[in-house]
Amino acid sequence: MNTDLQKISHERDIEVGAVKIYVNSASICILSIYRAPSGNFALFLDKLEVILNLLHRNNIQLIICGDLNINYLVENNKKTLLDSLLASYNLTSTVYFPTRIQNNSATAIDNIFIDTSKFDNYGILAIINGLSDHDA
């Protein structure tokens, strides 16, 4: 199934690309998302839901990753709203360590969301690459 996500993307609110790969007998769709801190969060959620409705299938394993600019180290309204939407697709956050450390602040604004019932053996590690102000 080919889906043109460029038509759904909206600069600063949700910029998204995807790739579908086949590993053994599994179909995996990896979405990469960027949301600017100043973007319209309600529009981000609406468009993400449209994307998830287009791509979610029982025979496809979804992985969402990217810089969402939502700090997962603290409880906040944006985190709660995003988690609620993703939970309806059985997707769960996996990053609980700082991904951006700057001056006196540390945030987890980059994340990976997976269906832990399909990916039951996984590990997430921070990689300090020195190429960006975010760790990989």
Bridge partners (DSSP) of residue 65 are: 32, 112
Residues 69-74: contacts with CB under 8 Å, at least 24 apart: 69/35, 69/36, 69/37, 69/39, 69/109, 70/35, 70/109, 70/111, 71/107, 71/108, 71/109, 72/96, 72/108, 72/109, 72/111, 73/98, 73/106, 73/107, 73/108
The percentage of the chain sitting over the pLDDT mark of 90, rounded to a whole number, equals 64
Q: Which CATH code of 3.40.50.150, 3.40.50.300, 1.10.1200.10, 3.60.10.10 fits the domain covering 5-114? A: 3.60.10.10
In the chain, what are the domain boundaries? 5-114
Task: Tell me the whole-structure pTM to 2 decimals.
Answer: 0.87
Name the more confident of 28 and 127. Answer: 28
pLDDT tens, residue by residue, 77-136? 999 999 999 999 999 999 887 776 677 888 878 899 999 888 777 777 666 666 555 555
Q: Residue 47 in contact with residue 54, Cβ under 8 Å?
A: no
Query: Higher model confidence: residue 96 or residue 17?
Result: 17
